[in-house]
């Protein structure tokens, strides 16, 4: 029987360092990398382009679900410089704007959207394995992953990382707004009806509050089971 490919699920709240750590772990281990959050951001981007805002009525929810059903999203490039195409157009930079980030937290709480995305995530990662990061990878998408890791950090630290990221990209934002958005995203992610954010059974929780990226990567790599 062929061996199952290694699949590492990295979950956690926004700003815990999932994306940066997952990319570096993928490079270190020579494995594919899949950012499932980018798929929800892609739906959010299309919703924003359609003029939809965070306060969705029933018609808005229906429109978002239709956008998710007809979404085409693809990934290219190495983990450290991965590009994301949305409906065959590069949208990598657009996916990280504050507007899309806020909308992504809203659309990802819609059960029909999650049910549309999960099979696609499974299909993308199941064949070759790899490092898969998101909010429900260990709990819902791949509960039998080789390794499940839950990264977390203090809300203020996560908000500061987001604030600094926006500054590096030349996006002007008020600290108070970034922090408030962080708390609101945490609330939505942890209380949503479908796939609420929480550590998966058997997941190793790593608090990144006082850890550098190199420290986090080393901690995750050290947890990976060694094949004989």
Domain range summary for the chain, segments of one domain joined by +: 7-223
For residues 65-72, average pLDDT: 97
The string over 24-42, giving b where at least 16 C-beta atoms fall within 10 Å of a residue's C-beta and e elsewhere, is bbbeebebbbbbbbbbbbb
The string over 60-84, giving b where at least 16 C-beta atoms fall within 10 Å of a residue's C-beta and e elsewhere, is bbebbbebbeebebebeeebeebeb
Q: CB of 100 within 8 A of CB of 45?
A: yes
> At residue 155, does pLDDT exceed 90?
yes
Tokens at 53, concatenated? 């805002």
For residues 155-178, average pLDDT: 91
- Where does the pLDDT of residue 1 fall: very low under 50, low under 70, confident under 90, or very high at 90 and above? very low
Name the more confident of 199 and 170: 199
Closest residue by Cα to residue 18 from 101, 137, 108, 124: 137
Q: What is the pTM of this model?
A: 0.88
Q: Where is 149: in which H helix or E strand?
A: strand 147-152
Closest residue by Cα to residue 104 from 30, 189, 2: 189
Closest residue by Cα to residue 48 from 111, 117, 94, 13: 94
- For domain 7-223, the CATH architecture is 3-Layer(aba) Sandwich (3.40)
> At residue 40, does pLDDT exceed 50?
yes
Tokens at 10, concatenated? 């990295």
Name the more confident of 171 and 25: 25
């Amino acid at each position: 029987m062929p061996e199952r490919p290694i699949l590492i699920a990295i979950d956690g709240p926004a700003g815990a360092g999932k994306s940066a750590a997952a990319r570096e772990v993928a490079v270190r281990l020579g494995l594919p990398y899949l950012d499932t959050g980018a798929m929800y951001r892609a739906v959010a981007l299309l919703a924003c382009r359609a003029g939809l805002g965070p306060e969705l009525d029933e018609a808005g929810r229906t429109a978002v679900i239709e956008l998710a059903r007809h979404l085409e999203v693809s990934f290219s490039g190495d983990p450290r410089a991965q590009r994301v195409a949305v409906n065959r157009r590069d949208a990598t930079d657009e996916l990280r704007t504050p507007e899309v980030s806020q909308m992504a937290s809203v659309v990802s709480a819609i059960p029909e959207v999650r049910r549309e995305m999960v099979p696609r995530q499974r299909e993308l990662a199941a064949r070759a394995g790899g490092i898969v990061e998101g909010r429900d990878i260990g709990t819902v998408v791949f509960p039998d992953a080789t390794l499940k890791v839950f990264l977390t950090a203090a809300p203020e630290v996560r908000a500061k990382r987001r604030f600094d990221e926006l500054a590096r990209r030349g996006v002007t934002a008020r600290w108070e707004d970034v922090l408030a958005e962080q708390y609101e995203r945490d609330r939505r992610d942890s209380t949503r009806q479908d796939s609420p954010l929480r550590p998966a059974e058997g997941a190793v929780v790593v608090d990144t509050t006082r850890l550098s990226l190199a420290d986090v990567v080393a901690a995750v790599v050290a947890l990976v089971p060694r094949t004989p």
